[in-house]
Amino acid sequence: MIITSVDIYRLEIPFHHPLRVPIGVIEGANNVVIKINTDSDLVGSGESSPFAPITGDTQESNYAMAQQLARLIMGKDPLAIEARMTEINRFTVGEPSIRGAFDIAFYDLAAKAAGMPLYQFLGGSVREIRTDLTIGMQDTVEQTVNLAKGILAKGFDAIKMKVGRSGLADVEHVKAVRELAGPDINIKIDSNQGWDYPTAVANINAMKPFNLDYSEQPLAVWDFDNLARLRDKVDLPICADESIFDDKDALKLIKLGAADYLNIKLGKSGGIHTALKITAIAEAAGCKCMIGCFGESRLALTAAAHLAMARPNITFLDLDSAYDFKADPVIGGVRYDEKIGGLLHLSDGAGLDAVIDESYLQNHKRIEG
């Protein structure tokens, strides 16, 4: 199989409720979608969802880089994923979001060529996968509680709370949600680097009665040493997110004893190829993985859900970005169960079995061989 052309588009969909975190606000999808066309009748689709405060890239830069990556791979075999991703990862150390979009499209094509859904192509079998739903940082406890009520009413069994306020201001928000939810709902907190070491120790100790699952990225992205110190100090698992992009970060964090869990996002790892390496390193170290998202539509979320289904070591799912979109442009792909909150369904169609409705795609550019 040979790559004959690549179509590049912008995709923009606002959220009903922008998601506020300590390092910025995600307003919705400001993404780039690519389609890799081949000399067969198969087409592979991929999507980036850049968030500059974390990934360092933007929709603008992804759109420009996609054109260079398209030229790089033109006329080559998309099924040789090892070779294609090695070229792409050597071409730029930056732009992880768009590298991930190309990787997703390669896997979509490879699984289609094999005639299998992607989870099966990755060696997986059907298992139950269920996402949490996230509450962003609200101004008042009342606002936080109102959002939590909505999540519980939809039947979710897991809530992720964005924290990272100054001092101990987060404690009352978490306390109120635990009191509302009762003991059986899973609650995790994500500080998005909002705390320093002493604030993290104080908050995690103060939240001990609330029986949390883990603390995600409590400290600054670069502060591996204090993360290891914190993990020794507190009685709550530590999950690294912004501190881990790829397999090299995974190995470093594990060697330092700095994380119990690793949060994989295809927009950080540059796709499934490197994500699989992260899961292997984590598994060998007795470390569980989480899979998360930025502002992906159900297209890129479908790739993440297939990966999660294929790798049971991916224990925690936070694949909720498309839950709050004002429009859903994706045909096929992963579905949120209508009754059981957070339960995810994948089809048995080949590849991702998902495409974007063309009418939502803008600024089409075709790179040809």
Q: How far is the CB of 224 from Mg ion (least distance, A)?
A: 16
Q: Near Mg ion by CB under 5 A, which window of 50-58, 187-195, 228-236, 323-331?
A: 187-195
**C-beta of residue 205 within 8 angstroms of C-beta of residue 170:** no
Q: How far apart are CA 222 and CA 231, in angstroms?
A: 15
Q: How far is the CB of 317 from Mg ion (least distance, A)?
A: 13
Nearer Cβ to Mg ion, position 190 or 260? Answer: 190
Residue 68's contacts (CB-CB under 8 Å, 6 or more residues apart) are 91
| Chosen residue from 170, 241, 249, 260 binding Mg ion by CB under 5 A | 241
Q: What is the full DSSP assignment across 136-191? A: ---SSHHHHHHHHHHHHHTT-SEEEEE---STTHHHHHHHHHHHHH-TTSEEEEE-
Q: Near Mg ion by CB under 5 A, which window of 64-72, 185-193, 228-236, 361-369?
A: 185-193
Q: How far apart are CA 111 and CA 320, in angstroms?
A: 24
Helix (H, G, I), strand (E, B) or coil at 18: strand
Q: Near Mg ion by CB under 5 A, which window of 76-84, 138-146, 158-166, 186-194?
A: 186-194
Q: CA angle, corner 142, sides to 140 and 146, nearest 5?
A: 125
190 binds Mg ion (CB under 5 A): yes
Q: How far is the CB of 349 from Mg ion (least distance, A)?
A: 30
Q: Near Mg ion by CB under 5 A, which window of 7-15, 78-86, 135-143, 216-224?
A: 216-224
CB-based closest residue to Mg ion: 241
Nearer Cβ to Mg ion, position 103 or 241? Answer: 241
Helix (H, G, I), strand (E, B) or coil at 328: coil
Phi and psi, residue 35, nearest 5°: -125, 125
Nearer Cβ to Mg ion, position 241 or 353? Answer: 241
Nearer Cβ to Mg ion, position 130 or 162? Answer: 162
Number of residues in contact with Mg ion under rule CB under 5 A: 3
Q: Footprint of Mg ion on this chain (CB under 5 A)?
A: 190, 216, 241
